[in-house]
Structure 1
Amino acid sequence: MSARRAALVAAVVLGLAFVVVVAVTTPWDVLPGGAARSPAVDPTTVVPPERIARAEAFAAALRPASLTSLLLGLAVAGVLGLTRLGGRLVRALAAPLGGGWVWQVLLGVLALVLIGRLATLPLAAYGEVVRHRYGLSTRSWPLWARDVAVSTAIDAALTAVAVLGLVWLARRAPRSWWAWAAAGAAALVVVGSFLWPVVIEPAFNRFDPLPPGELRTELLALAETNGTPVQDVLVSDASRRTTTLNAYVSGFGSTRRIVLYDTTLDQLPDEEIASIVGHELGHVATDDVLAGTLLGALGAAAAVGALGWLLPAPRVLRRVGAASPGDPRIVPLVLFLAAAGTLLATPVQNVVSRNVEARADVRALELTADPDAFVAMQRRLALTNLSDPDPPEAWQWFFGSHPTAPQRVALALDWARSADP
């Protein structure tokens, strides 16, 4: 069997394994006893009509820019990755430093990431203007620029490490590079998931312990009841950037902690904060982060297997002007394929995510036994975060990572009926 055919077989097998794991592990039935879920409640029972109009106006102002930014970024990556232009750029950048392949990869990735970010920067700035206009963003423009610079630097650095490893393997093991790279991609996904809360999160926010008190004690007890004790309860200085409300649980084992936005702490009563935290602890109880990480690792390995079949194809190499998969001129094509693959995987990720979020909602209801607080919390989140309670079906199917507020309220009412003796 040729190396290309072996890579294709591996990609197909890993892809099928991914589909099977998604089908088996996704919680399609989340209510006790597999009870059927009711349709979403009338949005006007969750958010007053005038606030629905405001949320819809906010979404109407932001969605076109978001979609345009997505497509523009993909188009720029396509122009550089599907022609010889990107390869020429990679070579030209490294020429003053001797033109070595390592410099070609590192400088090429940096330039390509910067070009993509600069192309979409005006749309990102417009999005920030919209968030300011509707009172969701509190960031100063210097802080916004700093956040863009830091996120771009992190993106470029992580991408450069991954692509440098791939090209090195392709040069070192011309026949089996894709197998080693697939294993490496899976490992990077796992390591990144573990390091994110302790390395990346502090680059954007400051975290301080929640002072001792009734709420802290209640949240730690909730984690114990959930069977997932946490090391600390922290408060993030989110108000430097936003007025939105949120909380989450991050980390694994000794790094696991509950994180509250300071906006959440300031605006929500304790019982609603407990409901939010109960939802996040529900993710921990069912190992949702670990399951998502393993699915991501499996998907990354399948994608690299597909690269092992595609990149050595003579027609592909001729199109981009590369001699082999180990030629740095292949880098722009790899980045384009990664962007396109991520976009294609988005609706699959989100259909899984919506069901996982619904299961976490049920866990929050079970932990707190307070559906009234859950419903009140969902209403407050929808009002404060300007969530569209009734987005277009196609948009929700493709981009919606969470159920809508009316859907979540309907789930809470279903749970209350099923729990009523």
Structure 2
Amino acid sequence: MSSASAAPPDPRSTRRLALLAAGVLGAALVVVIVVATPWQVLPTPPGGRTPADPAAVFSADQIARAEAFAAALRPASLTSLLLGLLVSAALGLTRAGAAVARTLARPLGGGWVWQVLLGVVGIAVIGRLATLPLSVYGEVVRHRYGLSTRGWGLWARDVATSTAISAGLTAVGLLAVVALARRAPRTWWAWAGGGAAALVVVGSFLYPLVIEPAFNQFESMPASPLRTELLALAERSGTPVEDVLVADASRRTTALNAYVSGFGSTRRIVVYDTLLDRLPDEQIESIAAHELGHVANDDVLTGTLIGALGAGAGTALLGWLLTATPLLRRAGASGPGDGQVVGLLMLLLALGTLVSTPVQNLVSRHIEARADLHALDLTEDPESFTAVQRSLGTANLNDPDPPAAWHWFFGSHPTVPQRIAFAEDWAAVHGR
């Protein structure tokens, strides 16, 4: 039984329309990023801005340890990224990806639905296995530096769980894309773009309820002065929360962290249990105040809007690319409605993620700076802010001065010296 769609290729006018839609949505995305990103959140203080100086923040031994940790992991991380792309290209730009889909679907009749679902899972597992030795090496390094507390059994479970969740969600999403391409061969990209944008929005709401519990267990923080103060802090921030939860992060790491997740009745402050024994309450409150800043400034909603526009633009661009006959022929697929197109689709998704990463991180660094401002304004305690940044940087082994190109591409937060310099600028602006 043939698994290829019998739909004719899109006419040139439809191809141009897909490219036009991608351009319009891309332009809207740029406008939203330019308008919504807080490019400068603090006036220049008297005497100018404080320079970020790692040597003024950390001891020489602390700097050497953090840099050694980064030097041990950075080549492996970059190699893993490149190897993953190479595997995706090998499966997406040759008939190998189509062969994987056909082979896995054959025992179940070889239909296009099974080609998509099992093809995505098979390709995802192949990619994960290709980079698994580098993941093992990374975990060995984290153990060596005392950052990971996971046994290898738990590590394997986490890898399997994350792979299964990622592959499952991708399989369902691509199944919808291929189904739309079969049903509406000329306008599928428009329907898929709307669906992708909606999925980003729904995912933002479901993530804390569905994904987070797959990796951590959460318990309400017992009644204590810290819990009372965190709830009061949320009220003062104008973003009340329903609960304060403690995550059992110590099963996996010694890293320190806290965050706010959920919306409305599901909003809660989540504190790693590693924080409770290692930091004083006022420093934990400073971290929570930063996270509440993301809620007060609607950063999740802004990120969701940016993600939805990006998903729509990317899907329209996909509609243009998947009318290129040479590209489809190389992948062994007859069109976007052919179940054997999954290898090519997954490659294009990987490339889209790679291209968008530095843009996302550029926006993220400025949003994080605004959340730092919120923490300082809310607590009026730059000393605790500075102290907790030192504690976080030391415990999490953050590189205090990463290479500029690396930080530009991969850095989602300002460096610890930059954040401490920002706190000093805040103090200067407010006459402290």
What TM-score, normalized by structure 2, do the two folds share? 0.96
Root-mean-square deviation (CA, aligned residues, Å) is 1.3
**Residues in 2 aligned to 1:373 and 1:310: alpha-carbon distance in whole angstroms:** 52
Q: 1:304 aligns with which of 303, 307, 315?
A: 315
How far off its partner does 1:355 sit? 0.4
Q: 2:330 aligns with which of 309, 319, 327?
A: 319
Q: Do 1:223 and 1:281's aligned partners in 2 also have CA atoms closer than 8 Å?
A: yes
| Counterpart check, 1:126 vs 2:153 | no
Q: In structure 2, what is the equivalent of residue 15 of structure 1? A: 26
Q: In structure 1, what is the equivalent of residue 16 of structure 2? A: 5
**Residues in 1 aligned to 2:294 and 2:272: alpha-carbon distance in whole angstroms:** 18
How far off its partner does 1:354 sit? 0.3
The amino acid of 1:167's aligned partner reads V
Q: 1:203 aligns with which of 211, 214, 220?
A: 214
Q: 1:290 aligns with which of 283, 301, 314?
A: 301
Matches within 5 A, 1:9-408: 9-32=20-43, 38-408=49-419
Q: Do 2:46 and 2:428's aligned partners in 1 also have CA atoms closer than 8 Å?
A: no
Q: Do 1:91 and 1:99's aligned partners in 2 also have CA atoms closer than 8 Å?
A: yes
**Residues in 1 aligned to 2:395 and 2:200: alpha-carbon distance in whole angstroms:** 33
Q: In structure 1, what is the equivalent of residue 7 of structure 2? A: none
Q: Do 1:40 and 1:408's aligned partners in 2 also have CA atoms closer than 8 Å?
A: no
Segments ≥4 residues shifted beyond 6 Å? 33-37
How far off its partner does 1:239 sit? 0.2
The amino acid of 2:429's aligned partner reads S
SS of the aligned residue for 2:277 comes to helix
**Residues in 1 aligned to 2:36 and 2:349: alpha-carbon distance in whole angstroms:** 25
The amino acid of 2:415's aligned partner reads T
SS of the aligned residue for 1:208 comes to strand
Note closer, same or farther for the CA distance 1:34–1:95 as it changes in structure 2 (3 Å cut).
farther
**Residues in 1 aligned to 2:371 and 2:74: alpha-carbon distance in whole angstroms:** 27
SS of the aligned residue for 1:387 comes to coil
Q: Which moved more, 1:319-328 or 1:25-34?
A: 25-34
SS of the aligned residue for 1:267 comes to coil
Q: How many residues align?
A: 421
What TM-score, normalized by structure 1, do the two folds share? 0.98
Q: Do 1:101 and 1:328's aligned partners in 2 also have CA atoms closer than 8 Å?
A: yes
SS of the aligned residue for 2:245 comes to strand
The amino acid of 1:152's aligned partner reads T
SS of the aligned residue for 2:211 comes to helix
Q: Do 1:37 and 1:411's aligned partners in 2 also have CA atoms closer than 8 Å?
A: no
Note closer, same or farther for the CA distance 1:94–1:167 as it changes in structure 2 (3 Å cut).
same
**Residues in 1 aligned to 2:348 and 2:51: alpha-carbon distance in whole angstroms:** 37
Q: Which moved more, 1:409-418 or 1:39-48?
A: 39-48
SS of the aligned residue for 1:258 comes to strand
**Residues in 2 aligned to 1:274 and 1:84: alpha-carbon distance in whole angstroms:** 55
Q: Do 1:186 and 1:300's aligned partners in 2 also have CA atoms closer than 8 Å?
A: yes
Note closer, same or farther for the CA distance 1:107–1:35 as it changes in structure 2 (3 Å cut).
farther
Q: Which runs of 5+ in 2 are unaligned?
A: 1-11
How far off its partner does 1:34 sit? 9.4
Q: Which moved more, 1:60-69 or 1:34-43?
A: 34-43
**Residues in 1 aligned to 2:115 and 2:159: alpha-carbon distance in whole angstroms:** 24
| Counterpart check, 1:420 vs 2:413 | no
